[in-house]
Chains A and B, each alone.
Chain A
Amino acid sequence: MSIDRREFIRIAGLTTFFGLGGKAAFELLTPGQLEAKMAQEAPKGTRWAMVVDMTKLDADTAKKCVAACHRIHNVPDLNNPVNPKEKVDPEDKVRWEIKWIWADHFHNAFPGFEQPYQQKLDHLPFLLLCNHCENPPCVRVCPTKATFRREDGIVMMDMHRCIGCRYCMAGCPFGARSFNWQDPRPFVKEVFPDYPTREKGVVEKCTFCVERVEKGLMPACVLESKGALLFGDLNSPKSNVRQVLQQSYSIRRKPHLGTNPQVYYIV
């Protein structure tokens, strides 16, 4: 059975007139079906996330967390060269610094959320790291897919593919990525033998300790944090992070940008 042009326009016009093509008609005739198709799929598998409990974190612990992370990932320390002769110019030190996790003031971590009467909050050492966003802009802009989002939510770097274009650094609104402007090895004093270093010309960042997580271990910063940092599966209702997030009010960095960051801060 074929339908000619005139007939088609007639039917289309009539259905529009009676509102049969609209959402309301679908709701009336097949209730629930459209809703089910539009709803997002229930989360499957694991979704790693971190909770930073600022009520438990002090400056000393924060420093230890940073040191532990940077030690086991061979992150160069420009203040501490292997050869004491190789000093870095203070200006370059700021530019060339490599950081996976670092502590900063509230007004830097949460710009726009600061108030003039929260001196106590502003003196807390907010531990900042890659937020492992649900919608990571770094992944979207990477031209070689060197950075990608794993099934479990961890935003990973494939150093073999990185061409050092630094698009991801421009894309990341959290400053979580660092570029190797120089060979990092002369600034890794105590080399951790089980983890590679990086080379000149690649971008690096926190990986949520993927090599430890896959072995069933906690990330290095979490171990050092004396309970201030929690790491767990957000998709599991019984996980420690879900329990804590249910009980306490938490904030995230720059949520209005829509990247859906997965590091939560309890303040």
Chain B
Amino acid sequence: MKKDVKNEFGVFGERPRVEKKLFHAKYIFGGLAVFLVLLLLPVLPNLGKAVPPPQPSLDTAAIQKLKGKDKQCVADTVWMRSYHMQLLGDWREAVVRDGKREVVGLGGKKFNPSLSNTCMECHSNKSQFCDQCHNYVAVTPNCWGCHLEKEKKVTKAEAK
């Protein structure tokens, strides 16, 4: 048996062995489980389901009318997919700041650099074309605050 050590603070002996026990274990583990469920709540409903990739539709009357060589956007499709926002930015600078109202597109074809009057003239289906990818990647471009969509909507019944 060890001898008790005594100093000016008191007597220190060997600690009595006690059973190791987590107090309030059911509350702690219960709470952790609830926290985990809350944390995963946004993920759980979509678990195992693949979100369908966006499929922007080219099916508009204006595009269908175009034939052969004319059926071509202002630039290459793959390029447009990645850089259309930069193209629109360049067009904006050209028109507003420099007053250039003509740009040369792919194949030497001349275009009026205008979102509403050139892009939306062919891609008149904003909800099927623009919104498809924008929603998928969760971006909300603020073009449409001013620029008109030109999408023919079903007339809503006016509230009176």
Is A191 touching B148 in the complex (CB atoms < 8 A)?
yes
Is B96 touching A160 in the complex (CB atoms < 8 A)?
yes
B96 neighbours in A (Cβ, 8 Å): 156, 158, 160
Is A159 touching B146 in the complex (CB atoms < 8 A)?
yes
B110 neighbours in A (Cβ, 8 Å): none
> Which single member of A148, A198, A215 contacts B101 (CB below 8 Å)?
A215
Q: How far is the CA of A83 from the CA of B101 in the complex (A)?
A: 36
Which A residue's beta carbon lies closest to that of B142? A199
Which B residue's beta carbon lies closest to that of A202? B146
Which A residue's beta carbon lies closest to that of B150? A193
Closest chain B CB from A256 CB (angstroms): 32
A158 neighbours in B (Cβ, 8 Å): 96-97
Is B92 touching A214 in the complex (CB atoms < 8 A)?
no
A83 neighbours in B (Cβ, 8 Å): 158-159
Counting CB contacts under 8 A, is B145 at the interface? Answer: yes
Closest chain A CB from B117 CB (angstroms): 6
> Which single member of A150, A194, A197, A199 contacts B99 (CB below 8 Å)?
A150
A199 neighbours in B (Cβ, 8 Å): 142, 145-146
- The size bracket of the interface on B is 10 to 19
Is A193 touching B158 in the complex (CB atoms < 8 A)?
no
Interface of B is mostly: loop
Closest chain B CB from A215 CB (angstroms): 7
Closest chain A CB from B78 CB (angstroms): 27
Number of A-B contacts (CB under 8 A): 33
Q: Which residues of chain B from 146 to 160 have any CB-CB distance to chain A below 8 Å in the complex?
A: 146-148, 150, 158-160
Is B159 touching A197 in the complex (CB atoms < 8 A)?
no
Closest chain B CB from A148 CB (angstroms): 7
Q: How far is the CA of A158 from the CA of B99 in the complex (A)?
A: 12
Which A residue's beta carbon lies closest to that of B147? A196
Q: How far is the CA of A191 from the CA of B146 in the complex (A)?
A: 12
Q: How far is the CA of A193 from the CA of B120 in the complex (A)?
A: 11
Which A residue's beta carbon lies closest to that of B112? A215
A160 neighbours in B (Cβ, 8 Å): 92, 96
Q: How far is the CA of A193 from the CA of B99 in the complex (A)?
A: 20
Closest chain A CB from B144 CB (angstroms): 10
Is B116 touching A148 in the complex (CB atoms < 8 A)?
no
A210 neighbours in B (Cβ, 8 Å): 99
16 contacts between A and B (CB under 8 A): A84-B160, A148-B97, A156-B96, A158-B96, A159-B146, A160-B96, A193-B116, A193-B148, A194-B117, A196-B116, A196-B147, A196-B148, A198-B146, A199-B146, A214-B101, A215-B101
Q: Give A residues with C-beta under 8 Å from B.
A: 83-85, 148, 150, 152, 156, 158-160, 191, 193-194, 196-199, 210, 214-215
The 5 closest A-B pairs by CB, nearest first: A199-B145, A196-B146, A196-B147, A158-B96, A214-B101
